[in-house]
């Protein structure tokens, strides 16, 4: 059976697939989302939360580009916290506890109201190709659907295998069918697959938890949003709680180690090192007699609690016994056991920067199938694949973000140049330009770029322009205004700040660590009056941006200088036909890795693990000589 032809077919309605579908359809492409279960669109398979350190920055970037994850999160939030507020602004990271049912329903409603987007419940079992390009997909119901571009976002479902102690069965998540057939067909077409694993903790019936024994973790007093668009203030936040394992818990868990699929070798795939199971933590940190657990509500209309930090694939009875040894959980009942899941993924070095595969044109991979873990990491890849699939169809230049422009640029660059050997998640430490890549300026960095190709709306663009205009005016005022000792000394003394001996510009005063912009606005009526002219719905953002830009100006300029220097180096092209094995001056490892990865630029080559600065220096000289001999432009200006 044949169907009408689509511009873009997206396979899988998870975080990557939903963003890809929304972006492609919003940019005007006739788009079809095929997913195994419409009811399971954008499930939060694990933690009912979005954002957190580095991940929060990614959601802000998705929002700035015109994606939906930020808006959906804001519509589903039950508790908001801006993490790391006591550190510098580069580390401020928004995190939202979400109602997981609302999250999924809100995404479904958003997709169903997106023009140009059709949705079909089915399983894709193969792609259709013609020569070196993809031309459509074939489904379990025997339907061939022609398409100009196909984006695969299958998550943890490809040959998914669930493990709970000695029990093991097929599944994409617990209670859901795996996707079988597709990865085998892709292997037969030349793609390489491997296995990874991840895990999740028990879901506890809140009616059986003694919350009086737990430490309460409330939301922020003044909760913010993920989206840069105006939204109503969050009301009625629900608290999270903190609990602790103890030595008895660890002993009880150890009793199940001989039945652990992890320790008995039945799970082959690597798991996320930075998000280990509780049995992993006990094994690795044997000297530690307690681990902190976060008790997180899963929604407003459920009493289910997610026990963050207690992920396990030990037998069910071992998980329950260990749970009962934790203070507050002595009589706990569970809705679902913890489990591990192993699945196929495609090493992402098989992709280019647009997430298009190197093997087949117009075929894109995004999300967990590229070896990442996390909703945010998946969603941003889906967005970028959706955008690029449409740009390519329209014959427009690709949209690639650099490491200096966005965390999304860091993530994709890491994936396609270095590959992964464990599930990849984002950390602030992966980004070289952390002071530039802040959550507060994602809109300034990215909205104009996305507006240019028609994804970010005019409304978004107008808001960014308004914010930037007010920020510039505020910075100018701080630069221009000064205060005399008699005007400010009483105030400075009240803040334990040294008094002035002569007139001083506000831009010098604000550099004092003990003073904030809010203090200055309170003490200097002219500056305070100017702040009041900023529209109330963007005032907070403008003042944060003003303060950060003044206080961190020196560091921001330094980062820009480094980024410019690296960009020059970054863009030196490497000829495709370079024969690495013959370059004996390169180390053996560099020859092997460069032959395999085939980087397009020296910048990419420099980030491949095992390629040393000495290898890069040699390569630079070699390429320069080659380009001069062959008279090929090499990107050097």
Ligand X SMILES: Cc1cc2nc3c(=O)[nH]c(=O)nc-3n(C[C@H](O)[C@H](O)[C@H](O)COP(=O)(O)OP(=O)(O)OC[C@H]3O[C@@H](n4cnc5c(N)ncnc54)[C@H](O)[C@@H]3O)c2cc1C
Phi and psi (nearest 5°) for 615?
A: -60, -40
12 lies in the binding site for ligand X (CB under 6 A): yes
The per-residue DSSP string of 407-448 comes to HHHHHHHIIIII--SS-B---GGG-S-TTTS-STTHHHHHHH
Smallest distance from ligand X to CB 370, Å: 8
Query: What does DSSP assign to residue 122?
Result: -
Judged by CB, which is closer to ligand X: 280, or 544? 280
* Pair of tokens at residue 28: 């005007």
Tell which one of 179, 204, 408, 590 touches ligand X (CB under 6 A).
179
Listed in sequence order, the DSSP H helices in 420-552 are 442-452, 458-480, 485-494, 506-509, 517-523, 525-532, 536-551
173 lies in the binding site for ligand X (CB under 6 A): yes
261 lies in the binding site for ligand X (CB under 6 A): no
Tell which one of 275, 351, 401, 520 touches ligand X (CB under 6 A).
275
- β-pairing, 144-152 with 363-365? parallel
Contacts of 251 (CB under 8 A, 6+ apart): none
Smallest distance from ligand X to CB 151, Å: 11
384 lies in the binding site for ligand X (CB under 6 A): no
Q: Which of residues 110-129 bind ligand X (CB under 6 A)?
A: 123-124
Binding map of ligand X across residues 473-512, x = CB under 6 A, - = no contact: ----------------------------------------
Judged by CB, which is closer to ligand X: 64, or 202? 202
309 lies in the binding site for ligand X (CB under 6 A): no
Rounded to an integer, what distance in angstroms lies between the CA atom of residue 365 and that of residue 355?
A: 6
Give me the residues paired with residue 20 across strands. none
Q: How far is CA 172 from CA 156, 180, 281, in A?
A: 6, 10, 25
Tell which one of 367, 386, 409, 635 touches ligand X (CB under 6 A).
367
Judged by CB, which is closer to ligand X: 224, or 373? 373
Binding piece for ligand X, criterion CB under 6 A, among 152-160, 278-286, 428-436, 468-476: 152-160
Judged by CB, which is closer to ligand X: 12, or 348? 12
* Pair of tokens at residue 252: 């009880």
Size of the site for ligand X (CB under 6 A): 37
Tell which one of 157, 163, 191, 353 touches ligand X (CB under 6 A).
157
| Cβ–Cβ < 8 Å for 365, 345 | no
Tell which one of 21, 159, 312, 368 touches ligand X (CB under 6 A).
368
Angle, CA of 60, 61 and 64, to the nearest 5°: 85
Contacts of 482 (CB under 8 A, 6+ apart): 503, 504, 505, 506
200 lies in the binding site for ligand X (CB under 6 A): yes
Smallest distance from ligand X to CB 406, Å: 19
Tell which one of 7, 8, 10, 13 touches ligand X (CB under 6 A).
13
Tell which one of 21, 31, 45, 148 touches ligand X (CB under 6 A).
45
Tell which one of 23, 46, 64, 492 touches ligand X (CB under 6 A).
46
Rounded to an integer, what distance in angstroms lies between the CA atom of residue 133 and that of residue 286?
A: 52
Instruction: Using the structure block, give the residue that is written with the tokens 């020196």.
Output: 554
Judged by CB, which is closer to ligand X: 124, or 594? 124
* Pair of tokens at residue 361: 């044109």
Tell which one of 8, 9, 16, 234 touches ligand X (CB under 6 A).
16
Binding piece for ligand X, criterion CB under 6 A, among 13-21, 221-229, 529-537, 599-607: 13-21
Judged by CB, which is closer to ligand X: 165, or 635? 165
Q: Which of residues 418-457 bind ligand X (CB under 6 A)?
A: 425
The candidate with the shortest Cα–Cα distance to 332, out of 489, 210, 217, 454, is 210
Smallest distance from ligand X to CB 18, Å: 7
68 lies in the binding site for ligand X (CB under 6 A): no
Judged by CB, which is closer to ligand X: 157, or 329? 157
Q: How far is CA 440 from CA 108, 375, 435, 546, in A?
A: 28, 20, 11, 11
549 lies in the binding site for ligand X (CB under 6 A): no
156 lies in the binding site for ligand X (CB under 6 A): yes
Contacts of 345 (CB under 8 A, 6+ apart): 158, 193, 194, 195, 196, 368, 369, 370, 371
Angle of helix 536-551 versus helix 458-480 axis, rounded to 10: 50
35 lies in the binding site for ligand X (CB under 6 A): yes
Q: What is the 3-state secondary structure (H, E, C) of 269-337?
A: CECCCCCCCHHHHHHHCCCCCCCEEEEEECCCCCCEEEEECCCCCCCHHHHHHHHHCCCCCCCCCEEEC
15 lies in the binding site for ligand X (CB under 6 A): yes
Smallest distance from ligand X to CB 176, Å: 6
365 lies in the binding site for ligand X (CB under 6 A): no
Residue 323: CA count within 13 A, CB half-sphere:
33
Rounded to an integer, what distance in angstroms lies between the CA atom of residue 151 and that of residue 154?
A: 9
| Cβ–Cβ < 8 Å for 542, 502 | no
Smallest distance from ligand X to CB 174, Å: 7
Q: How far is CA 90 from CA 114, 316, 432, 472, 633, in A?
A: 34, 42, 11, 20, 38
183 lies in the binding site for ligand X (CB under 6 A): no
Binding piece for ligand X, criterion CB under 6 A, among 209-217, 236-244, 367-375, 468-476: 367-375
The candidate with the shortest Cα–Cα distance to 385, out of 403, 374, 373, 369, is 369
Tell which one of 9, 27, 40, 530 touches ligand X (CB under 6 A).
40
Smallest distance from ligand X to CB 140, Å: 8
Binding piece for ligand X, criterion CB under 6 A, among 153-161, 188-196, 221-229, 293-301: 153-161
56 lies in the binding site for ligand X (CB under 6 A): no
Element (H, E) at 363: strand 363-365
Judged by CB, which is closer to ligand X: 427, or 588? 427
271 lies in the binding site for ligand X (CB under 6 A): no
Q: What SS3 class is residue 160?
A: coil
Tell which one of 9, 27, 50, 341 touches ligand X (CB under 6 A).
341
- β-pairing, 49-51 with 194-200? unpaired
Rounded to an integer, what distance in angstroms lies between the CA atom of residue 426 and that of residue 392?
A: 28
Residues at the contact surface with ligand X, assessed by CB under 6 A: 11-17, 34-37, 40, 45-46, 123-124, 153-157, 172-173, 179, 182, 198-200, 275, 341, 367-368, 373-375, 378, 425
């Amino acid at each position: 059976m044949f169907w009408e032809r689509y511009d873009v077919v997206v396979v899988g309605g998870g975080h990557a697939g939903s963003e890809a579908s929304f972006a492609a359809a919003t940019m005007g492409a006739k788009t079809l989302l095929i997913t195994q279960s419409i009811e399971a669109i954008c499930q939060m398979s694990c933690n009912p939360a979005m954002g957190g350190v580095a991940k929060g920055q990614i959601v802000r970037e998705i929002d700035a580009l015109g994606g939906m994850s930020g808006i959906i999160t804001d519509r589903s939030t039950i508790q908001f916290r801006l993490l790391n507020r006591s550190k510098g602004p580069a580390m401020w990271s928004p995190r939202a506890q979400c109602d997981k049912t609302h999250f999924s329903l809100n995404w479904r409603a958003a997709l169903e109201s997106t023009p140009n987007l059709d949705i079909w419940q089915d399983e894709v079992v193969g792609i259709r190709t013609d020569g070196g390009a993809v031309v459509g997909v074939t489904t379990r119901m025997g339907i061939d659907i022609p398409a100009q571009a196909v984006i695969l976002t299958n998550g943890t479902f490809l040959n998914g295998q669930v493990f709970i102690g000695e029990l093991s069965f097929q599944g994409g998540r617990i209670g859901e069918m795996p996707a079988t057939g597709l990865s085998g067909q892709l292997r037969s077409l030349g793609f390489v697959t491997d296995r990874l694993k991840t895990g999740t903790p028990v879901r506890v019936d809140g009616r059986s938890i003694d919350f009086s024994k737990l430490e309460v973790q409330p939301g922020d007093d003044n909760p913010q949003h993920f989206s840069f668009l105006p939204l109503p203030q969050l009301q009625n936040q629900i608290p999270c709680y903190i609990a602790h394992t103890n030595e008895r818990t660890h002993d009880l868990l150890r009793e199940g180690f001989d039945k652990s699929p992890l320790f008995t070798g039945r799970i082959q795939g690597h798991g996320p090192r930075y998000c280990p199971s509780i049995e992993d933590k006990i094994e690795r940190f044997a000297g530690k007699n307690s681990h902190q657990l976060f008790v997180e509500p899963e929604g407003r209309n459920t009493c289910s609690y997610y026990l963050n930090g207690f992920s396990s694939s030990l037998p069910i009875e071992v998980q329950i016994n260990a749970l009962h040894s934790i203070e507050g959980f002595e009589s706990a009942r569970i809705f679902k056991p913890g489990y591990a899941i192993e699945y196929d993924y495609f090493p992402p070095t098989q992709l280019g920067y647009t997430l298009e595969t190197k093997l087949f044109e117009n075929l894109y991979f995004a999300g967990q199938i590229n070896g990442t873990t996390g909703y945010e990491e998946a969603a941003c890849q889906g967005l970028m694949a959706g955008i690029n699939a449409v740009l390519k169809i329209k014959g427009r230049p690709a949209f690639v973000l650099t490491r200096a422009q966005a965390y999304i640029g860091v993530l994709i660059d890491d994936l396609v140049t270095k590959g992964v050997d464990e599930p990849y998640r984002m950390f602030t430490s992966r980004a070289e330009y952390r002071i530039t890549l802040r959550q507060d300026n994602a809109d300034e960095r990215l909205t104009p770029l996305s507006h240019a190709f028609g994804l970010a709306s005019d409304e978004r663009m107008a808001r960014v322009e308004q914010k930037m205009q007010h920020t510039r005016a505020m910075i100018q005022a701080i630069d221009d205004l000064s205060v005399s000792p008699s005007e400010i000394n009483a105030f400075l003394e009240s803040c334990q700040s040294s008094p002035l001996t002569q007139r001083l510009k506000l831009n010098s005063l604000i550099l004092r660590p003990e003073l904030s912009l809010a203090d200055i606005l309170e003490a200097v009526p002219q500056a305070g009056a100017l702040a009041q002219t900023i529209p109330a719905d963007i005032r907070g953002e403008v003042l944060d941006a003003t303060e950060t830009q003044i206080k961190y100006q020196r560091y921001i300029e330094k980062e820009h200088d480094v980024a410019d220097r690296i960009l020059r180096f970054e863009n030196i092209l490497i000829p495709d036909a370079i024969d690495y094995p013959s370059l004996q001056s390169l180390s053996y490892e560099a020859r092997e890795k460069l032959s395999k990865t085939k980087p397009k630029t020296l910048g990419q080559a420099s980030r491949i693990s095992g390629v040393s600065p000495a290898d890069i220096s040699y390569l630079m000289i070699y390429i320069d000589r080659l380009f001069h001999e062959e008279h090929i432009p090499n990107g050097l200006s």
